Amino acid sequence: MKREKFTVWDALIYLVLGLFCLSIVVAFLHLLNLSFSPSYIATKGGLLLLPRDVTLDNYAKVITNKYIWQGYRNTILRTAVGTVVQLLFTAMGAYVLSKRYFPHRTFWTFFIVFTMFFSGGLIPTFLVVKSLGLLDTFAVMILPGLISAYNLTIMRNFFQSLPEEIEESCMIDGAGRFRIFFQFILPLSMPILATVALWLAVGHWNAWFDVLIYISDETKFTLQIVLRRIIITGSKEILDTTASARSVSDEPLVSSEGLKAACIFVTTLPILCVYPFIQRYFVKGIMVGSLKG
């Protein structure tokens, strides 16, 4: 194969992409340095590309915080169980809908896609969750969003791109529906599974609103809820009139910017580590999935 020449156009693309990457790295670097800095550095402001003063106090505080570890446990559990279960159900649903001989396929597809455009709203959803007895349970973090219409559509498109002959030859060899699905279709669909799994895992890792609304038992709080509480403490002035009625000592104690940065790091690090390993499937997965409508 002839090697293409490196043109000015390529250089420009590299430059733009390089700058884009830099803008992300700089933010991370700033945060990292901030997390190792005593609190006054943050008040001083400015960009921290090199540490001006190093302390491990922030990390010591984060690591000794009981809620962080409890949150970690819940988040890991949620991410692991949630991703596996959701992936399984989404794949099964998508597989069925990808079969041309499935009766009323268009209707069922529309039935599912329809939900992408309309949502029930917060309170009706809450009522449903409540009447299902899911409030304050671990399952509430997984079941209400078990199958996302978007992921299902993407997966369905991928399955449709697989040659139907595979299924036929499997059947001739005597494989049943489940064997075909688990032993042939799924292994062939690694790119899309990895892609959707990454979306789901990141989504679970970052999710906080459902916990905020549905969970009141603090032992089930996930990492993001704990992080949120630490980050927003004291950042908002309560209404003028009540501010005067409250003495300063009664306000939420300020968590220092360094502590916030350390928290952010401790909570984002795991997902950052996972990303590069699954990311290579990303492009492949989406591209193939998008071929056919």
Partner 1 sequence: MKRKLLSCLVVLALLLTCLPLSLAAADEAPTKISVAGYMFGPIDNDLDVVTPAVEKILNEKYGLNVDIEVVYIEYSEYNEILNPRLAAGTAPDVFLAMSDTMLESYYDQGAIASWDVDFFKENAPDVCAFVMGGGVNGDLIDQVDKWMSAATAADGKMITVPSLKPDGSMPYKTLIMRGDWLDKLGVTDETLPKTVDDFVDLMYRFTTEDPDGDGEADTYGMSATGIKALFGAYGVYCGFVGGTSYWYEKDGEILNADVSDAAKEVVSILAKMYADGVIDPEFVTGSEAVAGSYWAISNGLVNGRFGASALASIDHFRLKDVLNDNGGPVAQEYWAVNGDDATFVYAPWPAGPDGDYGYCVGEAVAVSESAVYNAALNDDPEKLAKIFQIMNAFATDDELWTLAAYGIEGEHYTVAEDGRLVRNGELTNADLNAVGVWGCRSLYGADRAFSDFSYNTLFYNDPSIANRLNWFKKDQYNSYIQNAVTGVLPSAGDLQSELNTYRDETWISMIKGEIDIESGWADYVQTYMDLGGEQLYTEANEWYANN
Of residues 147-186, those binding partner 1 (CB under 8 A):
none
Point out which span in 4-12, 106-114, 124-132, 146-154 binds partner 1 (CB under 8 A): 124-132
Q: Of 42 and 175, which has the nearer Cβ to partner 1?
A: 42
**Closest CB 82 distance from partner 1, rounded Å:** 22
**Closest CB 146 distance from partner 1, rounded Å:** 20
Q: Which of 42, 76, 143, 147 binds partner 1 (CB under 8 A)?
A: 42
Q: Binding of partner 1 at residue 237 (CB under 8 A)?
A: yes
Q: Binding of partner 1 at residue 123 (CB under 8 A)?
A: yes
Residue 136: C-alpha distances to residues 141, 142, 206 (Å): 9, 12, 19
String of contacts with partner 1 for each residue 43-82, x by CB under 8 A: xxx---------------------x---------------
Point out which span in 84-92, 162-170, 172-180, 245-253 binds partner 1 (CB under 8 A): 245-253
Q: Which of 68, 154, 207, 257 binds partner 1 (CB under 8 A)?
A: 257
Residue 54 backbone zone (phi > 0: left; psi -120 to 50: alpha; other: beta): beta
**Closest among 273, 267, 281, 278 to 59, alpha carbons compared:** 267
Instruction: Kindly state the number of chain residues that form the binding site for partner 1, as judged by CB under 8 A.
Output: 44
Virtual CA dihedral for 187, 191, 196, 197, nearest 10 degrees? 60
The CA radius of gyration of the chain, in Å to the nearest whole number, is 24
Which residues sit at the interface with partner 1, rule CB under 8 A?
38-40, 42-45, 67, 122-123, 126-127, 130, 135, 212-213, 216, 218, 221, 229, 231-237, 239-250, 252-254, 257, 260
